[in-house]
Amino acid sequence: QQQVKQSPQSLIVQKGGISIINCAYENTAFDYFPWYQQFPGKGPALLIAIRPDVSEKKEGRFTISFNKSAKQFSLHIMDSQPGDSATYFCAASISSGGSARQLTFGSGTQLTVLP
């Protein structure tokens, strides 16, 4: 059972455009939602993360939008650059209590930003 569903599987954007990647989750106990960026030949690295007490978090060109009622969150990359071309993974975890558990990852989105 896939608890975090990610879309699209691949995305092609022109330089300067906006890249949007979406994730939906099922388990309402999730309380930590990070996004990871992975370049070929490297391990994933944390890009930005949000907790459910806020609806949006922005760090530079990267923004997470979070909709608790819809159980969805998305990554927006403004002014996309060729250097942003990578695979992006959303994830979710439960941080405390008897149900605490490690990150559950989405299936990944391969982003290509054309020059």
Partner 1 sequence: EADIYQTPRYLVIGTGKKITLECSQTMGHDKMYWYQQDPGMELHLIHYSYGVNSTEKGDLSSESTVSRIRTEHFPLTLESARPSHTSQYLCASSAGWNTEAFFGQGTRLTVV
Residue numbers at the binding site for partner 1 (CB under 8 A) = 31-32, 34, 36, 38, 40-46, 49, 51, 87, 89, 93-96, 100-108, 110
| Non-local CB neighbours of 78 within 8 Å, separated by 6+ positions | 18, 61, 62, 63
The rounded distance, in Å, linking the Cα atoms of 83 and 89 is 17
**Token pair of 49 as six digits:** 């993360």
Q: Closest approach of Cβ 72 to partner 1, in Å?
A: 19
DSSP 83: G
Cβ proximity to partner 1: between 16 and 26 the closer is 26
Q: Closest approach of Cβ 57 to partner 1, in Å?
A: 14
Q: Closest approach of Cβ 22 to partner 1, in Å?
A: 16
Cβ proximity to partner 1: between 79 and 92 the closer is 92
Sequence letter at residue 5: K
